[in-house]
Amino acid sequence: MQLSKDTPAIITGGASGLGRATAEGFAAAGVPVAIFDINEEAGLEVASAIGGTFHKVNILDEDSVVAGFEAARAAQGQERICVHCAMASTRGKTLAYDKESGGYKKLDTDTYARGVAGVLVASFRIASHSALGMSALDPMEDGERGCITMPASVAAEDARYFCDAAHVGRAAAGAGQSGCVRAVSETPRQAGRVRFAGHGTGAQWLF
Ligand SMILES: NC(=O)c1ccc[n+]([C@@H]2O[C@H](COP(=O)([O-])OP(=O)(O)OC[C@H]3O[C@@H](n4cnc5c(N)ncnc54)[C@H](O)[C@@H]3O)[C@@H](O)[C@H]2O)c1
């Protein structure tokens, strides 16, 4: 895709880390950028620095996401680019040693479910709303309608990465990211107007 003022982007999690760097990169390339994040203070700061817009969005909440897409599209037009970097997961080992009882305790199933939902279900929420919007666009000169990217993690493909100090206790996040990688490889087969570009870490859909 040729980046320009005519390829608006929505970056979730744009207030920090990977999302912030992505937002800054697109803005530097002349792309109008809308940031979705739950952190209003940091999101506004980034948006102001790059000349973009900020929309307070909770990726766990359907209505909040719908309102965010409506506001961003009203401000800069239908997005051609969507990069989903926001993540809302939970921590906890499946089994952990419990000092009090001297035995093991298991991770609460509801906590695990919330952690998976914050990655896997939230990713579907963002990607499906964006895909629907992009499907109504005319293809550009190169034949693409748009591009949705969901950065997962190498940990989605190799559980050993969850054994190191930084990742231990992220059973739910890892399961959610594995699901995202698999979903990306399945989704193009379910949608008629979609051209599939690749899958795995840094998965990408081309529309
Ligand atoms: N940083 C890395 O090295 C790395 C490597 C591989 C994969 N990843 C993946 O990239 C993604 C982003 O990682 P990061 O390091 O930039 O994280 P980060 O914590 O710096 O940024 C995440 C952003 O998501 C926002 N957020 C949290 N809950 C939200 C919610 N409910 N609604 C809306 N926004 C919410 C936070 O406010 C934050 O701005 C994650 O999925 C992560 O697993 C990161």
Residue 199 in any domain: the answer is yes
The residue-averaged pLDDT of 4-15 equals 97
Paired with 82 in beta bridges are 10, 148
Q: How confident is the model at residue 40 (pLDDT cuts 50, 70, 90)?
A: very high
pLDDT digits (tens, 9 = 90+) for 92-143: 888 888 899 999 988 899 999 999 999 889 998 998 899 889 888 888 887 7
- Closest to 33 measured CA to CA, from 49, 16, 11: 11
pLDDT at 3: 94
pLDDT at 158: 60
Residue 25 in any domain: the answer is yes
Residue 112 in any domain: the answer is no
pLDDT at 145: 84
Residue with CA closest to ligand 1 atom 7: 153
Q: To the nearest 5 percent, what fractions of the chain are helix, strand and coil?
A: 45, 20, 35
pLDDT at 122: 94
Residue 106 in any domain: the answer is no
The residue-averaged pLDDT of 84-88 equals 92
| 135 Cα to the center of ligand 1, angstroms | 27
Per the model's pLDDT, the better-predicted residue between 134 and 19 turns out to be: 19
pLDDT at 17: 95
For the cut 50, the answer to whether the pLDDT of residue 194 exceeds it is: no
For the cut 50, the answer to whether the pLDDT of residue 178 exceeds it is: yes
Residue 38 in any domain: the answer is yes
- Closest to 29 measured CA to CA, from 12, 13, 54, 52: 52
Residue 95 in any domain: the answer is no
Query: Which of the listed residues 16, 40, 55, 69 should we mutate to test ligand 1's pocket, taking the one with most ligand atoms within 8 A of CB?
Result: 16
> In CATH, what number is assigned to the domain containing residue 62?
3.40.50.720
State percent of the chain over pLDDT 70: 81
Is residue 9 within 8 A of residue 82, CB to CB? The reply is yes
For the cut 60, the answer to whether the pLDDT of residue 160 exceeds it is: no
Paired with 92 in beta bridges are 170
Residue 31 in any domain: the answer is yes
6, 169, 182 from 32: Cα distances, Å: 8, 38, 30
Per the model's pLDDT, the better-predicted residue between 125 and 203 turns out to be: 125
Give the ligand 1 atom nearest the CA of 18: 16
Distance CA 59, CA 102 (A): 38
Provide the domain count of the chain. 1
Q: Which domain holds residue 49?
A: 9-89+119-159+183-206
| 80 Cα to the center of ligand 1, angstroms | 21
Task: State the chain's mean pLDDT as an integer.
Answer: 84
| 37 Cα to the center of ligand 1, angstroms | 10
| 196 Cα to the center of ligand 1, angstroms | 25
Q: How confident is the model at residue 193 (pLDDT cuts 50, 70, 90)?
A: very low
pTM of the model: 0.89
Residue with CA closest to ligand 1 atom 17: 17
Residue 75 in any domain: the answer is yes
- Please give all residues whose beta carbon lies within 6 A of any atom in ligand 1, as ranges: 13, 15-19, 37-39, 57-60, 85-88, 151, 153
